[in-house]
Amino acid sequence: MSTLETPEADLVYDVQGPLPTADGRPPLFMIGQPMTADGFRALASHFGDRTVVTYDPRGLGRSVRKDGSTVNDPEIQARDVHAIIEALGAGPVEMFASSGGAVTALALVAAHPGDVTTLVAHEPPLTTVVPDADAAERARIAVREAYEAKGFFAGMAAFIAMTSWQGEFTDAYFAQPAADPAAFGMPSGDDGTRSDPLLSDASRPITGYEPDVQALTGASTRVVIAVGEETGDALTGRTARATAALLGQEATVFPSHHGGFAGPETGYPGKPEEFAAKLREVLA
């Protein structure tokens, strides 16, 4: 574990393997949001021959904010990742980025294309790029309202219902009764928290980010948009395919679901061994 101290945040990161790398290949960065470094433990275990770098985004996990903000902004997080790459003297790197981390990575490539040789951006949740963007935002607001009214379990039930809905957010979606936490094995009581980065408005800049298509298509970085084979037409499957289309490509299909690289310790296990094999193939 290492810490990069900046005026705005103390950024904690982990390096698995030697720097400079033993084989001359770039380090492989793995980033998420709100997922921290711990979420990549299973995937990183399948890259014992590579130097892997993971980190906790500012204000999450071990990384402490000093800027007085609670907002998760992809352009600010991109600046943090750029600072870590520079501090390590490790650029350019290869990068696997998932969910909100994929949005951060797209912002990084737009601002600092020389930092990354190949980016695999897995299911970026960019609601701005789908045809029903306004309805998707309405659905997100409903999750936040459920969270603010009744706490984590009600908010998480609403979030699961939203992210598992197949297809566009139609009148049928909004006509459903409120999601019941018990249906997902959760208690119904209010836990009293209102600061969860996933359920509050803290990560609104992530889902509301508009990718700089011109910068991304003009960058020297090879950008690969990835989608899980089990995701189907759920929101992040649709956002991944729409983002790929904006960049003039088709989304590359990876094993499993939105957390397909994760191990059982996350509570949302995928198929990390198969996922790692596909990632190796794409990076090659």
Is the torsion defined by CA of 156, 160, 163, 165 positive or negative?
negative
Q: Among all chains, which residue has been given the structure tokens 């390096």?
A: 15
Q: What is the largest CA-CA distance in the chain?
A: 57
pLDDT digits (tens, 9 = 90+) for 20-52: 888 889 999 999 999 999 999 999 999 999 999
Alpha carbons 29 and 26: distance in angstroms, whole number: 9
Whether pLDDT at 228 is above 80: yes
pLDDT of 77: 96
CA distance 2 to 11: 8
Q: How does the average pLDDT of the chain come out, rounded?
A: 94
For residue 107, give every residue at least 6 positions away whose Cβ sits within 8 Å of its Cβ, in sequence order, or none: 74, 75, 77, 78, 209, 211
Q: Is the pLDDT of residue 195 over 90?
A: no
Name the pLDDT band for 91 (thresholds 50, 70, 90).
Answer: confident
Q: What was the pLDDT predicted at 65?
A: 95
Residue 125, pLDDT score: 96
